Amino acid sequence: MASGEKKRRTEDENREFNQDWTESFAFICNTDGLLTCLICHEKLTHNRKSNLERHFTTKHAQFAGKYPTGDARKKLLKSSKKMQQQSSSMLSNWAQSSNNVNLASFAVSLEISKRGKPFTDTCI
């Protein structure tokens, strides 16, 4: 590469997820911007139709034959998408409850240190 040329970056290309790809290739776009396969839950980082198509044809050829594009595929993908969202919300709820436990522990530690007591003291 010549020293004067600018290196091509995919972030500069402003690629967006096309909602038609959900039915065609069984992919959804997460809140973090990663594309997730609804069949095998594999994540792809580059938002390109060719990458999705290659993944779908190489790894899920049987799925394409079993569920051709139509109502049956839409119904299955809708339920898979719903399950994906439920598991993701369950994980975020668990992380939030873990965070609440940490905050309570820090509050107790702060009170103990304000009173000048050792952390092994059980009477606050």
- Hey, where are the domains in the chain? 19-94
Tokens (6 digits) for 10: 């995919």
> Which pTM does this prediction carry?
0.55
Summarize pLDDT for 85-104 with one digit per residue, the tens: 777 777 777 777 777 788 88
Of the candidates 72, 56, 53, which has an alpha carbon nearest to the alpha carbon of residue 64?
Answer: 56
Across the range 93-121, mean pLDDT stands at: 80
Query: Whole-angstrom Cα distance, residue 99 to residue 94?
Result: 9
Alpha-carbon torsion, ordered 19, 65, 48, 92, to 10 deg: 60
The pLDDT value recorded for residue 14 is 64
pLDDT of 54 strictly over 80: yes
Of the candidates 74, 38, 6, which has an alpha carbon nearest to the alpha carbon of residue 29?
Answer: 38
Mean pLDDT (the chain, rounded):
79
Question: HSE of 1 in the Cβ direction (CA atoms, 13 Å)?
Answer: 6
